[in-house]
Each structure stands twice: as C-alpha cells, then as structure tokens.
Structure 1
Amino acid sequence: MDKVWRDYDQAGLDAAYDQRVWAPDMAAWLARYRADTAAARAALKPQALSYGPHDCDLYPAQGAPRGVHLHIHGGAWRALGRDDSGFLAPAFCAAGFRVAVPDFSLLPARRLPDVVAELRACVAWLRPRGPIHLSGHSSGAHLAAVLATEMAFASVTLVSGVYDMEPVLLSARRLYVELTAEEALALSPIRHAARIHAPLRLAWGTDESPEFIRQSEAMAAATGAETFVLPGQNHFGAAYAPAQGALHAALTA
C-alpha cells in the first residue's frame, strides 16, 4: 500500500494511533482509573465546583497550600471525565497541593478549538487560588501543551501526549477530529515550542506506540524539556507517573 506518513501505510498509521493495539490490558487500566478516583474522592472529599460550562473536582491540600495542580485527563479527546481522573490527587494533596480535575466537552459533540477555549476558562477560574502547576496525559497532554503555548504556568508536565496534529489527522482519528489546516497548525504545540516558558517535563513509557514515543522525543528535542522514560510502561500505566517515582519527586521538590 502507498505510504501516507513517513514509512507508514494507512493501516500502519491507524494502528500507531490506536492504543488498543499496544495495550491489550487497556480495559483493566481504565477500570483502575475509576476505582482509584472513587477511593480518592472517598478519602479527600473534593468539592465539585462549576467553572462555567462544566464542573471541576477540587481536592483539598493537606497542610499549607503550595498552589494548584491542574490535571487534564486523556481519552483520545472523546472519552473519560473527572470520574476517571482523580487518581493522582492523593499524592499531590499530601505534598501540599490543591488538585483540580475538570470535566470538559468531548469530541465529536464539540470541536477541539472549543475544548481548548473551555480549558482556558478553567485556568482563569483557578488563577485566584494560587500558582498553577499543569499536567496532562495522552490527549490531555496535548491539550495541556496547547495551553502552555498560550498561558503562564508555574510548571508543565506532559505524559504520553501527541504534539503535532499532522499525522493524527492522517490516521483514522480524522473521522472524529476535524480541523482546518489553520486550526491544525495552531493546535500543534510543537510548532510553537518557543512560546512555552514554564519549567517543562515530558514522560512516556517504553511500551507505547512507536508514534507516541516519537512524538514525545520530538517535543523534548524542540523544547529542551526534562525527560522521564518509564521502563516497561504502556500508555495507560504511564498515566500514574506524576504521582510516583522520579517524576513525582521532581514535581514536588
């Protein structure tokens, strides 16, 4: 078959952007996300507050607050929500951070530029609560990176994201991610890497799709970010990295 991106034919590129191919235990990880979020809610009793179009769970800091940790969930821009995404909260609350986990619109009900606009509103809503440390996983890392090219943050942590929309829009994801050429450029944070001024950390697992690894390595090269390679971790296991090990130590130092 004809190549459509680098050395990929259409089937190969579609597989490179389908995490189910690389993580056959995806369903078990998603169930763990939800169970660990339920446990975090039971232990920490976050407030569910409206930031405008949606609600945001705000988990309380333990001890004197050091700021806010805003986490943007993954889900290929079309799945999951704050019910699945509060599992990082206990580790950060214990370190003195309030943790904000917002819902936001999902594709294809809304378009990607609209989702970014919602998250800008969430950041503005959180500003009075202290310095904001931003993180995101998977499509949430993409959204966080876009925000980091537009707004100021105390730090930014991107886990297993995509940062160039060109190959995404050539893959099967184009069936629900619809962007003009101008929008695709604007929403490709690697093309605007010089605009990111916050301390930046990138992490990815060694067992992820080669395209996700390539995207992370390219973003690290473009930004000079501190990198954390997660041995033996697939895409879904990597989501826990900000709450443990070397990455968590760096984030809470």
Structure 2
Amino acid sequence: MSAAAGLAWTDPPADWDDAYANAAHIPGAEAFLRRWPESAARFRAGARALTDLPYADHPRARYDLFLPEGAPRGLAVFIHGGYWMRFDKSDWSHLAAGATARGWAMALPSYPLAPEARIGAIAGFAARFLEAAAARVAGPIRLAGHSAGGHLAARLVCAGADQAPPLAPAALARVERVVSISGLHDLRPLLRTAMNATLRLDEAEAAAHSPALLRPAPGVAAAAWVGADERPEFLRQAALLANVWRGLGARTAFLAAPGRHHFDVIEGLTRPDDPLCDALLSD
C-alpha cells in the first residue's frame, strides 16, 4: 500500500451559497433577528452614551459611544456584520455592556452598505470611524467585529494595501488587539456565491482586502474566535487568519467556542466576566 492511500482528502463545498448561509442552519434563527434590536434598545435606555456622532459625509457614517462610570481605561470597538449588506449600529448596543462594566468605552459604527458601497470603500469608512472615535477617547484600543465586521476589524490593522485609505498612524499605533469573531478573512470564495451580485467583488478587490492575504501591523495581537457549531467555512476562515498571521510574526490565538453558532457566538460581549469579553479586554 502506498503512503498516499492513507490520505484524508477534503473536497471543496459543492454549494458555495450554502457554505456561507447561516440562518438556514440555526434553529430559531428568526428569534435572534427579533431579539437583537430589542436588547439593544433596552441597553441604550439606561446607558451613558453619545449617539449618532458623525465621522464622514454620509447618512450612515455615524457611531454610538457608550461610556463607563469614570474615566475610560481605553477604547473598545465592535463592528457589526451582515455580509456588508445589512444591519445598523442600533441593533448591537447591548454588546457594549461587558466593556463598559469593565471600565472601557465602546464605540459601535454604522457604515454604508453594498451595493451602494463596495467592500474597499466600506473599509475606508471603517478607518475614518476609528480615527474619529480614537480622537474622543484616550488610551489603548481594542477592536472586535463579527462576521463581515470581523473582516473590517482585521482589515483595519493590515499594512501595505492600497485600495482602502489606510488607518492614520496615530490611531494604528494605539491598537493593541483585534478579536475577529466568525470573521471572513479570505474574500475570494465569495466570488462563487450569489451574494456577489450585490457585493460586486472581483478577483483583484477580493485579494486586496482579504486580511489573510495581507500583513498585520507590527505589535498587534489577533484572536480568531468562532463558534464550534458554525459552518465549516467559518471555522476554516478563523483558523486561516490565526495561522497565516502567526507565520508573519503576529501573536495570535484561535478558539472554537463549544456549543456556539454564528448567531449566539457574540453574546459573551454582554457579560464582563465572559471568556470572549476577557479575550478582548484582558491585560
């Protein structure tokens, strides 16, 4: 028997749309979509916050800043997902609960969506947001994002790409850590999906804005966090970032959270003592 006979081959997905479909594989998915804005509104009602702060000249270029009691220890950020096509900052306010309870300010942006904006332009808006928020809150910066927001959070600390306006050096120098939660780090598989009719990615743009194909800024640690019950492509995408960036000299971590899927994997950010909140904010 040849040595090759023992190989365990893995085929690519037969259906790329299904490979990146989440709701269809999560029981009770619609309940999450209803609950998020309700939880966010309840949190906002009792929070110390500055809302709808502008960061660029676009109706969606606004962010909310939630403040702790006393002077903030630094600035935490959460960038929402939705495949760059849906959702709004106001759906996710409750995810600031853990950070503010630990003494951090947390900023959550909205941004222009596809098809109005291509992903490269959205990354540019994310950079302008972070610069504006950093100007309001002193201290270290910790970035988190979910799904497409995980892509944007990681993209903000990539060095040496041309397509999106770079993050200003003064802001980048303050970023200590990125936690990409179920992030999309190689955009090229999305070229095979129906959603690309809206995203309008081409091969060049997908490569230019894939964090796993870019170099992380020196000194930034990166954690790739994903639900263990997520679609195989999201597990692969998370492991890919941790693996590649470690090879490029970054301090990285990978964790597949047991029992978590794509919609509930972010809930740990609401609790100051949760491992996910600790991954973002621990010393």
Q: Work out whether the TM-score is over 0.5.
A: yes
CA contact (8 A) 1:69 1:132 kept: yes
Partner of residue 51, structure 1 = 55
1:98 is the counterpart of 2:127? no
Which deviates further from its counterpart, 207-216 or 60-69? 60-69
1:118 is the counterpart of 2:147? no
2:191 to 169, 182, 185: 169
Shift of 1:232: 1.0
Change (3 A) 1:222 1:241: farther
Partner of residue 214, structure 2 = 192
2:141 to 104, 118, 132: 132
C-alpha separation in 1, matches of 2:205 and 2:221: 26
CA contact (8 A) 1:193 1:222 kept: no
Partner of residue 279, structure 2 = 250
Matches within 5 A, 1:13-52: 13-48=16-51, 49-52=53-56
Partner of residue 141, structure 1 = 150
CA contact (8 A) 1:135 1:158 kept: yes
Shift of 1:6: 4.8
CA contact (8 A) 2:176 2:219 kept: no
SS of equivalent residue, structure 2 residue 254: strand
Partner of residue 226, structure 1 = 253
Shift of 1:132: 1.9
CA contact (8 A) 1:149 1:196 kept: no
Partner of residue 237, structure 1 = 264
Q: Give TM-score scaled by structure 2 length.
A: 0.82
CA contact (8 A) 2:191 2:203 kept: no
More helix, by proportion: 1
Task: Give the 4+ runs in structure 1 shifted more than 4 A.
Answer: none
Change (3 A) 1:196 1:85: farther
CA contact (8 A) 1:91 1:243 kept: yes
2:76 to 69, 77, 84: 69
> Structure 2 regions of 5+ residues with no counterpart?
1-9, 160-166, 247-251
Change (3 A) 1:34 1:203: same
Change (3 A) 1:119 1:220: same
Shift of 1:194: 4.2
SS of equivalent residue, structure 1 residue 56: strand
CA contact (8 A) 1:30 1:84 kept: no
CA contact (8 A) 1:22 1:207 kept: no
Deviation sequence 1:180-216 (CA, Å, 0-9, x none): 3221111110011444631211110111111111111
How many aligned positions are there? 247
CA contact (8 A) 1:37 1:86 kept: yes
CA contact (8 A) 1:46 1:59 kept: yes
Larger Rg computed on CA atoms = 2
SS of equivalent residue, structure 1 residue 33: helix
C-alpha separation in 2, matches of 1:194 and 1:117: 17
CA contact (8 A) 1:22 1:234 kept: no
C-alpha separation in 2, matches of 1:79 and 1:235: 16
Shift of 1:217: 1.2
1:209 to 219, 222, 231: 231
RMSD (Å), alpha carbons = 1.8
C-alpha separation in 1, matches of 2:245 and 2:28: 32
CA contact (8 A) 2:48 2:68 kept: no
Shift of 1:148: 1.6
Q: Sequence identity of aligned pairs in percent?
A: 30
CA contact (8 A) 2:155 2:209 kept: yes
Change (3 A) 1:196 1:25: farther
Aligned AA (1:238): V
Aligned AA (2:158): T
